[in-house]
């Protein structure tokens, strides 16, 4: 297993370009199942999770080509397999997003239950309940969801709690269903909006995009599309924090500032200066003393759970007491003991962590446990005195494209080395 060796204490400066969004790419790749025409997706990041999703689609019989970097051509012409295997789904839970499209297009699907992951149980009960309301017969058998539907029927779906994946699965099910589907309590994440816009470009009829209530008029068939995926707002937020960790000044190019307002507001509250220049780039000045703050993760447009670990690392350097409350996942504090090994003063109290400021992190050997926790350890390593080894960085490779190359181009000193269980 690879590890990062980070020599900390170097100020970041220069420009960095944000890659395409992982969490927008994954559902739009699945949307190709809804048509037999060719779909071209561009600005798709080169990540392990994208490779896994392409393998899932190929296992269903979808033709997948990657003619050039960041471009994926897909064509679901006459699928003959309707099963997403445990091997794929256990590796990446987003594989569950083939369920809605398979049911909508072919009326049948057998998808492994995702099982839990490091950050929580992550059930799919809301997905299944909604599909059943649309007329699907759902059976749980030997760890698989086995679903059938002669033709899905439009229905009124109410999500009592926000589910990004649930909204995406039902949206893809609804676009080919018979009649009208109303999704109340829909997730409003930019990735959901991007999927909806790709579906509309394919001929779907969706009203209320970006709102809490989506209204979908089912159509008989969809065309292909050529869709450019939105930039990754979590990668953009991670680089903003990196500037704050190193008192650096960086320009983040290619982000959508309107997708990261809650993150920008919080970081500015802590003292970092962030502004959009006339090219729409984000100019981040982290050469400031950091003020403490409190943050609670909530669904979009609030502060994103995927930035929780990163902002906690930053709060460790603030002059005072901060707090982080995680309301989305039940076990998303695994970075806490690892940050404490680097000198952080953290106290976990249920869903809240109290953060007391320290002067500087101390380099140490730490273990990555999930994608965003790994990012927070790298960020702490950028600040730390001495050397930090972040092990099991395959977690990072799932969701950050060439992170060490981008950070080193900004002046960091990170090497990727073999070994380090």
Any residues with CB less than 8 A from the CB of 258 and at least 6 apart, and which?
none
Where do the H-state alpha helices sit in 349-402?
A: 371-383, 394-399
Which segment (119-127, 272-280, 318-326, 382-390) binds ligand EPZ by CB under 6 A? 119-127
- Residue 161 CB, nearest distance to ligand EPZ (Å)? 6
The answer to whether 368 contacts ligand EPZ (rule: CB under 6 A) is: no
Q: Exactly one of 20, 135, 166, 244 binds ligand EPZ (CB under 6 A); which one? A: 166
User: CA–CA distance from 382 to each of 32, 71, 72, 77, 121 (Å)?
Assistant: 40, 32, 34, 48, 32
Total residues in contact with ligand EPZ, by rule CB under 6 A: 25
The answer to whether 123 contacts ligand EPZ (rule: CB under 6 A) is: yes
Q: Exactly one of 60, 62, 367, 371 binds ligand EPZ (CB under 6 A); which one? A: 371
Q: 325 φ, ψ to 5°?
A: -115, 125
User: CA–CA distance from 203 to each of 8, 33, 199, 255, 396 (Å)?
Assistant: 51, 14, 7, 27, 36
The answer to whether 126 contacts ligand EPZ (rule: CB under 6 A) is: yes
Entry field: residues in the chain: 421
**Residue among 53 and 290 whose Cβ is closer to ligand EPZ:** 53
The answer to whether 124 contacts ligand EPZ (rule: CB under 6 A) is: yes
Tokens coding 306: 């995927």
By the 8 A CB rule, do 16 and 409 touch? Answer: yes
Give the count of alpha carbons within 13 A of 382, CB side only.
Answer: 31
Question: How far apart are the C-alpha atoms of 336 and 370, rounded to whole Å?
Answer: 12
Q: Exactly one of 82, 144, 329, 361 binds ligand EPZ (CB under 6 A); which one? A: 329
Which segment (60-68, 83-91, 162-170, 215-223) binds ligand EPZ by CB under 6 A? 162-170
Q: Is the dihedral of CA 361, 362, 368, 374 positive or negative?
A: positive
Which segment (22-30, 62-70, 338-346, 348-356) binds ligand EPZ by CB under 6 A? 22-30
Q: Shortest CA distance to 101 belongs to which of 111, 112, 93?
A: 111
The answer to whether 164 contacts ligand EPZ (rule: CB under 6 A) is: yes
Question: How far apart are the C-alpha atoms of 381 and 360, rounded to whole Å?
Answer: 10
Exposure string over 17-26, b if 16+ CB within 10 A, otherwise e: bbbbbbbbbb
Q: Exactly one of 8, 20, 165, 381 binds ligand EPZ (CB under 6 A); which one? A: 165
Strands 282-285 and 294-297: unpaired
Q: Exactly one of 218, 248, 381, 399 binds ligand EPZ (CB under 6 A); which one? A: 399
**Residue among 276 and 331 whose Cβ is closer to ligand EPZ:** 331
The answer to whether 23 contacts ligand EPZ (rule: CB under 6 A) is: yes
Q: Exactly one of 31, 163, 188, 225 binds ligand EPZ (CB under 6 A); which one? A: 163
Question: How far apart are the C-alpha atoms of 309 and 332, rounded to whole Å?
Answer: 8
Q: Which residue is nearest to ligand EPZ (CB)?
A: 165
- Residue 96 CB, nearest distance to ligand EPZ (Å)? 8
- Residue 133 CB, nearest distance to ligand EPZ (Å)? 13
Cis ω before 413 (30° cut-off from 0): no
Tell me, residue by residue from 188 to 227, as one string, x for binding to ligand EPZ by CB under 6 A and - for no binding: ---x------------------------------------
Number of neighbouring beta carbons within 10 Å of residue 143: 11
- Residue 99 CB, nearest distance to ligand EPZ (Å)? 11
The answer to whether 161 contacts ligand EPZ (rule: CB under 6 A) is: yes
- Residue 372 CB, nearest distance to ligand EPZ (Å)? 5
By the 8 A CB rule, do 413 and 6 touch? Answer: yes
Helix (H) or strand (E) holding 246: none
**Residue among 304 and 381 whose Cβ is closer to ligand EPZ:** 304
The answer to whether 259 contacts ligand EPZ (rule: CB under 6 A) is: no
The answer to whether 145 contacts ligand EPZ (rule: CB under 6 A) is: no
Strands 3-7 and 414-417: antiparallel
The answer to whether 122 contacts ligand EPZ (rule: CB under 6 A) is: yes
Which segment (20-28, 193-201, 212-220, 288-296) binds ligand EPZ by CB under 6 A? 20-28
Q: Is 356 helix (H, G, I), strand (E, B) or coil?
A: strand
**Chain positions contacting ligand EPZ, by CB under 6 A:** 22-23, 26, 94, 120, 122-127, 161-166, 191, 305-306, 328-329, 371-372, 399
């Amino acid at each position: 297993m690879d590890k990062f060796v980070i020599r900390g204490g170097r100020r970041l400066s220069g420009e960095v370009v944000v890659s395409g969004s992982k969490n927008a790419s994954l559902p739009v790749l699945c949307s190709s199942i809804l048509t037999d025409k060719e779909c071209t997706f561009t600005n798709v990041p080169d990540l392990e999770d994208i490779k896994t999703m392409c393998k899932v689609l190929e296992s269903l019989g979808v033709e997948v080509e990657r003619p050039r970097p960041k471009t994926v051509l897909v064509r679901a012409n006459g699928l003959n397999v309707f099963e997403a295997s445990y091997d794929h789904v256990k590796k990446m839970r987003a594989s569950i997003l083939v369920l809605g499209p398979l049911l909508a297009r072919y009326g049948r699907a057998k998808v492994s239950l995702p099982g839990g992951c490091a950050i929580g149980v992550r059930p799919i009960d809301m997905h299944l309940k909604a599909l059943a309301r649309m007329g699907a017969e759902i059976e749980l058998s030997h760890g698989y969801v086995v679903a059938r539907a002669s033709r899905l029927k439009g229905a009124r779906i109410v999500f009592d709690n926000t589910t990004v994946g649930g909204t995406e699965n039902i949206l893809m099910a609804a676009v080919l269903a018979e009649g009208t589907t109303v999704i109340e309590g829909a997730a409003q994440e930019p990735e959901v909006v991007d999927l909806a816009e790709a579906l509309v470009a394919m001929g779907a009829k969706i009203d209320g995009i970006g709102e809490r209530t989506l209204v979908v008029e089912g159509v008989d068939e969809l065309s292909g599309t050529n869709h450019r995926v939105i930039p990754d707002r979590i990668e953009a937020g991670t680089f903003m924090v990196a500037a704050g960790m190193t008192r650096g000044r960086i320009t983040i190019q290619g982000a959508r500032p309107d997708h990261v307002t809650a993150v920008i507001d919080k970081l500015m509250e802590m003292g970092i200066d962030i502004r959009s220049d006339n090219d729409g780039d984000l100019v981040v000045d982290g050469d400031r003393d950091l003020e403490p703050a409190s943050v609670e993760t909530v669904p979009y447009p609030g502060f994103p759970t995927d930035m929780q670990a990163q902002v906690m690392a930053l709060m460790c350097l603030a002059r005072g007491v901060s707090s982080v409350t995680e309301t989305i996942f039940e076990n998303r504090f695994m970075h806490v003991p690892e940050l404490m090994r680097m000198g952080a003063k953290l106290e976990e109290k249920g869903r809240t962590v109290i953060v007391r400021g320290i002067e500087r992190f101390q380099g140490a050997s730490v273990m990555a446990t999930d994608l965003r926790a790994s990012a927070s350890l790298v960020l702490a390593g950028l600040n730390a005195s001495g050397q930090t080894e972040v092990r099991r960085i395959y977690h990072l490779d799932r969701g950050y494209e060439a992170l060490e190359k981008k950070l080193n181009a900004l002046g960091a000193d990170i090497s990727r080395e073999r070994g380090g269980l």
